[in-house]
Amino acid sequence: MSEQVNHPSHYNQEGRKECIDEMVEKYGVNHTILWCIMTADKYMYRAGAKDGNSEEQDLKKAMWYIQWAREHFKDNEYASSAWLEAHYYKAADKLLAIIQDYYDRHQKGE
């Protein structure tokens, strides 16, 4: 199976930059951070509900987007924005709680 979480081939087309890098160039890092937070929320919402995607895979995808947002948030000129900070931490806290619940359930064999 090809890589589906970290830099999948369908987001790395020959002769182009990776999709998220092109998004930063088109929309700026601040908007891309917000998009990553919203995309992570989408993966958390649908975790395990889409055919062909396991709950674990969707949560890993959500984590990838949250990590990207975190890495770029701390170096972002808008990092002092209270609104952006609140949304980032809200999404990150929600993701961590969902992932913890997932692993707790699987360790118990549910």
Spell out the domain ranges in the chain.
Answer: 17-107
What is the torsional sign of CA 42, 57, 33, 84? positive
- The pLDDT confidence band at residue 1, using thresholds 50, 70 and 90, is very low
- The pLDDT confidence band at residue 15, using thresholds 50, 70 and 90, is confident
CA distance 43 to 51: 13
pLDDT tens profile 20-35: 999 999 999 888 988 9
Count Cα atoms within 13 angstroms, Cβ side, for 50: 11
pTM: 0.65
